[in-house]
Amino acid sequence: MTGAASPVWWARWGPLSAWLAASRPPLSPPILLLSFPRSGSSWLGETLGQAANALYLREPINLSYQADGGRGTVVEIDPARPLPAYRLAATRAFHGIPAFKPGIVQWPDQWRLAQRSQRRVVIKEVNPRACPWFLAAFRPRVVFLVRHPAAVCLSYRRMGWWQGTTPEQWEGHGARQAGALRVALDALREYPDQRIVTYEDLCAEPMTAFRSLFAFCALTWDAGSEAFIQGHTTQGDDAPGSTSRHSQAMPDAWRGRVSAAELTALRRGFAAASLPWYNHDDDW
């Protein structure tokens, strides 16, 4: 994995790029936006990542791992022996070296060397099982996003990643989601620099919720941020790849699209991990 495909010129030179980055370190700590896949993290990431003092990277670790031949997204990471592709990509990302392709480096103009010392790295990732290693190795400030498991299942199905048709498959998906979230929750329980937020709360009051997250992340809140949030919460939809949506309609968009048997099985699987979210009858 090299920086040859990076849209940032100074990130294409290997060790020299690392030296340049170290000579102009960004603000500390870096920000990690973490969630299970299809939980709204692209929306969250782009909203925080467009801040005037952000250096945004979209899934630099997961996508680099897959480009290196890795299989799966929500994979076990041994903190004592992280996967080589994970270790290399994470080291580059958390140290603010944008040696990644354009889909990961979405806004190259953010990465000018002269501005680095006034900006903060913002990394969006979708493997909650890697959370213990992220915390131990890089000590980021963490925003952990969770979403109703039925909405996640339907989004997986729309993406063609999963085609659950039996109650056993729905129960298994609920258990997989809950197991991954439990790993991250346990790691974050005693970690001081973290904020946990639900997708549903973001959708209900996006301007208020995002303003609070900007403050927590020490990201610049300005008129551009307000305009971005307004434009991405009052139009569009939850189509694959879209980061624009009618936010207040999204939390309940899954209702009526899952059968009673599927929902019962999904809830049973999700409940096995005894998580603090989505465990009341009204949630289902």
Q: Which whole number is the average pLDDT over 28-42?
A: 97
Tokens of 106: 């979405």
Examine residue 55 and state whether it is found in any structural domain, yes or no.
Answer: yes
Does pLDDT of 253 surpass 60?
yes
Examine residue 228 and state whether it is found in any structural domain, yes or no.
Answer: yes
For residues 160-182, one letter each, b for 16 or more C-beta atoms within 10 angstroms of the residue's C-beta and e for the rest, the string is: eebebeebebbbbbbbbbbbbbb
Examine residue 58 and state whether it is found in any structural domain, yes or no.
Answer: yes
pTM: 0.93
Q: Which whole number is the average pLDDT over 247-274?
A: 90
Residue type at 45? G
Q: What is the CATH number of the domain that holds 66?
A: 3.40.50.300
CA dihedral 146, 151, 156, 162 (to 10 degrees): 110
Examine residue 282 and state whether it is found in any structural domain, yes or no.
Answer: no
Examine residue 3 and state whether it is found in any structural domain, yes or no.
Answer: no
Tens of pLDDT, residues 156-185: 999 999 998 899 999 999 999 999 999 999
Examine residue 170 and state whether it is found in any structural domain, yes or no.
Answer: yes
Indicate the helix (H) or strand (E) that contains 29: strand 27-35
Q: Which structural domain, as residue segments, surrounds residue 241?
A: 9-275
Tens of pLDDT, residues 53-90: 999 999 999 999 999 999 999 999 999 999 999 999 99
> What's the domain count of the chain?
1
Examine residue 283 and state whether it is found in any structural domain, yes or no.
Answer: no
Examine residue 146 and state whether it is found in any structural domain, yes or no.
Answer: yes
pLDDT band at 232 (very low <50, low <70, confident <90, very high): confident
